[in-house]
Chains A and B, each alone.
Chain A
Amino acid sequence: MLAGSRDRLSDAATSLLAELALRGRVLVFDGGNRLQAYPLARALRERTTRLDLLSQRLLIRRAFTAYQMLTLLESTPALTSPLVILDLLATFYDETLAVGSARWLIQRCLQQIDRLQNHAPVFILLISSPTSQRRFLQEMVCKKADTLFVEPQTSSSFVQPSLFKG
């Protein structure tokens, strides 16, 4: 699992998908419309001349609501190739989805991810929650990870350099 900022995650996702596609089929669930199709095509082209072949290895399904994300997971039989989930929680941050429903849905999603990872690796990329009210969702997902990479938070506040020592 990889958690971090939007830009870093987009780049990480592109590189990860390109590397996995070199090795075989990859299933991609895009939860936040994060797939960068053209940069991905360029990343594939940097790695191989057989762009057409590799682009056929990437099988993409998009979810525009949290319910659809659950449907994607439930409707996937046992995996034979890696699964990459881009921005799993994006649709869960939708304000029109009640917090209680979001909690229940993510629990179901995590159960499905447990099932799928028995047969092939599952990579999850997360962008940090925009509101503290829904941060618990990210915590629930991160708890389930076997390996967790978290992008370090950089301080955005400007530090006035001091003229004086001490």
Chain B
Amino acid sequence: MGKVEKIGWLMDVYTRPSGELVCWLISEDGQRWLLTMAFPVTFCVAGNPSVLRQAWRFLQGRGAGCSRQVRRDLFEGERTVLAVTVDLPGRLPEVYRRLAQAFPGLDYYDADLPLSVRFVARTKVSLVGRCRFETDGQQLVGLQPLESAWEMQPSLPPLRLMEIDCDQDPALHPPQQIVIRCAKRCYRFSLQPLRAFLVNLQALLRIYDPDVILTRYGDTWLFPFLSETDPLFNPNRDEQMKVEFRRERSLFAYGQVLYRGAQALLFGRWHIDRCNAALFGEIGLAGALELARVSGLGVQEGVRKSPGAGITAMQMQTALQDGVLIPAVKQQAESARTLSRLIRYDRGGMVYQPLVGVHCHAAELDFASMYPAIMVRYNISPETLNKKDAPAGLIPRTLQPLLVKRLALKHCLRTLDRRDSRVSELKARQTALKWLLVVCFGYLGYKNARFGRVESHEAVTAISRELLLQAKESAEEMGFSVLHMYVDSLFVQREGAQSEQDFIPLVEQIQQQTGIGVTLEGVYRWLVFLPARRDRRIPVANRYFGVFEDGTLKYRGIAMRRHDTCQYVAETQLDILQCLAQADDPRERWREAWALVNQRVRLLQRRQVAADVLQMAVKLSRDPQSFRRPSAAAQAARQLQSQGVAVRAGMRLFFWFSRQGVSVTPPGANELDWNRYARLVMQAAAEMLDILQPVREVRQFHLPLSR
């Protein structure tokens, strides 16, 4: 084939076992391309000159070219480095690993970067980005971007989607049937006989040739099962590749134990397991594409990893484009501080305790992406700390376009009617960007973040506290009472102020004073701040419920927001809120709300509630063996283990309360602990309604629980 030029989209990049780079593209005419491309990659080594010379000698004859360069380290300035270039990018990890093992005392840079990040930084073609490419049918010989990652309305490749679902949770029961949906058709197959199923699946893959395979349990069961059953089964579009399997693991991060299920990654097409992709439920495919577009991290990686990986990839891109070295490990340590300075500055965002009780016509004001906005406006970056008039640092330059795009998407959403067909896609994209912004602050102080620095982290929180205080002062000067403040939001009220127009001047004043965007989230018809459960005199931050003037409900910190609350209890609270929302003052509907609660308790007493809405969820905080007391989580874990299910710390377990304690399989009506559920319903109701109790009212509305 002679050279042809095409317009299309770059979907993914990866390496084959030989080490060569492969680009997966889709052209406008609908053709799918898997093209190799010459793409040498370089990592750098710095340190003691004599050791570097030894390293140079070590690398001779190991398939790596060496040269001496002067490059910039963000913290140390210019450094003379040994630049090691490997022609086949897939071979770099091995070369790096051997060198690092032989010479652990040297400093390594650009050594463990995701390949897609390197590729995007060098070619300026974003993933899922529109481009012009030239090929001879086998190789990619030319590639130019036609679109930036920051397009508000990027063009979308024509993706073919296949969904594969099984009828059971494989962790509990072996699936019997598989349902496959593609191009508006639905196919139902029995898993047995297995050979027939495999033939059918392979045929469908050939006929429909999907770009995206969406599954449930594809990572943790389907693909591993198929691979064990038939080692020749290959769902990849690139037939030279095997499915890449990654092991499950539990890790301690962000102050909690996280569980990452096993993964099955494909080549030439994407596999996304809905049950194993943390963000996918919230952002869907549109959000996953947006994430890949701006971060440079492949779609399969991006949906499985935390948003922190995405923000790290973005920082790497900025560093690569600037020629700044990216250290393999962070070594910078914080400067010395006295005890008094440590106590003064080692603090988080400002939390101003709420005024407990009912408040009418209160407004909620939110700073838009406060922490990232602070990082950009005040130029907070590890290399700019304590420097006046420093040029824009790496972190602010990474965040600026992200911030602008997210705010633009949000603004666009606000102008659209709720029923507009563009809303869900815009919302998904906006949410994906929101998550990147949410984690970027945390990563500034994260111990393993390449460009993190704890002093920068503290600078951001210090500025945020100051800005919130300025907002409070502005509000008070304009005659408002501040009801509550929580990190980046404040609740205010003023006699006579009822509509949004009454609060706009305050929004503008705060914006002008702080230089950070502020939005009026809304004006509540009424709002209730709740006290601590153990003592009603003690206020609790970020725990409230209310109804806006337009009837929208909002609630934070109560049972129905918690992941461990069963659906029946959550629905009870929602019913209560909807009942209260019909009044101008929730106290007027206190009796009706309790009547509702008692109806729901009666249904439990009559055993007229389906088991599936009584299912509880709990996250296993540690390995089952290390539980000393038989908590619900421990009991559930041990039951699953006795059934042969592998259980690890960080996993979410599902169970029901039964007469014997806990059951991981749905118990019959006679086995469920109905009293326990009734108590949970009453507790959830009291959480919301006790504060509204008329002062002289005697509580007459609790039905006796069945014995």
Contact = CB atoms under 8 A, between A and B. Distances in A.
Q: Do chains A and B touch in the complex (CB under 8 A)?
A: yes
Nearest to A101: B104
Given A65-B329, A68-B331, A71-B331, A60 B104 contact: no
A64 B335 CA distance: 13
B330 interface: yes
Contacts of A62: 333-334, 454
Contacts of A163: none
Given A96-B448, A104-B104, A61 B334 contact: yes
B79 to A, nearest CB: 16
Interface in B548-603: none
Contacts of B251: 95-96
Interface string B690-707: 000000000000000000
A72 B105 CA distance: 16
B448 A68 contact: no
Interface string B324-337: 00000111111111
B338 A56 contact: yes
A64 to B, nearest CB: 4
Interface in A18-74: 27, 35, 37-38, 40-41, 52, 55-65, 67-72
Contacts of B336: 27, 59-61
Given A60-B337, A61-B336, A65-B448, A37 B342 contact: yes
Contact of A60 (B105, B338, B447): B338
B608 interface: no
A64 B449 CA distance: 11
Interface residues of B, number: 22
Contact of A59 (B329, B330, B332, B337): B337
A40 B332 contact: no
Contacts of B330: 65, 67-68
B104 A68 contact: no
B329 A67 contact: yes
A93 to B, nearest CB: 11
Contacts of A162: none
A96 B342 CA distance: 28
Nearest to A61: B336
B4 interface: no
B343 interface: yes
Contacts of A95: 251
B329 A37 contact: no
A63 B338 contact: no
Nearest to A26: B339
Interface string A94-125: 01100011001000100000000000000000
A70 B332 CA distance: 10
Interface in B316-370: 329-340, 342-343, 346
A65 B452 CA distance: 12
B447 A64 contact: yes
B339 A37 contact: yes
B340 A55 contact: yes
A63 B333 contact: yes
Nearest to B445: A64
A57 B336 CA distance: 11
A75 interface: yes
A41 B331 contact: no
A159 B470 CA distance: 62
Contact of A61 (B331, B335, B447): B335
Interface string B47-64: 000000000000000000
A59 B331 CA distance: 20
B114 to A, nearest CB: 17
Contacts of A60: 336-339, 342
Contacts of A104: 104-105
A71 B327 CA distance: 14
Interface residues of A, number: 31
A133 B343 CA distance: 36
Contacts of B104: 100-101, 104
Interface in A61-93: 61-65, 67-72, 75
A104 to B, nearest CB: 5
A72 B338 contact: no
A75 B336 CA distance: 11
Contacts of A57: 338
B454 A71 contact: no
Contacts of A64: 447, 454
A54 to B, nearest CB: 8
A58 B333 contact: no
Contacts of B331: 67-68, 70-71
A71 B329 contact: no
Contacts of B447: 64-65, 68
Interface string B419-444: 00000000000000000000000000
Given A65-B448, A104-B104, A55 B333 contact: no
A50 to B, nearest CB: 13
Contact of B340 (A56, A61, A75): A56
Contacts of B329: 65, 67
Nearest to A69: B333
A72 B333 contact: yes
Contact of A71 (B101, B332, B342, B346): B332
Contacts of B346: 37
A134 B149 CA distance: 46
A55 B332 contact: no
Contacts of A41: 339, 343
Contacts of A58: 338-339
Nearest to B448: A65
A36 to B, nearest CB: 11
Nearest to A44: B339
A61 B337 CA distance: 7
Interface in A124-147: none
Nearest to B101: A100
A75 B337 CA distance: 15
Contacts of A56: 338-340
Given A37-B343, A101-B104, A61 B338 contact: no
Contacts of B332: 68, 71
Interface in B446-481: 447-448, 454
Given A56-B340, A61-B336, A65-B448, 12 more contacts: A27-B336, A37-B339, A37-B346, A56-B339, A58-B338, A59-B337, A60-B342, A61-B337, A67-B330, A68-B330, A68-B332, A108-B105
16 contacts: A27-B336, A37-B346, A56-B339, A56-B340, A59-B337, A61-B336, A62-B454, A64-B454, A65-B329, A65-B447, A67-B330, A68-B330, A71-B332, A71-B333, A75-B333, A100-B101
Query: Which 6 residue pairs across A and B have the least CB separation, nearest first?
Result: A64-B447, A68-B333, A59-B336, A55-B339, A58-B339, A71-B333
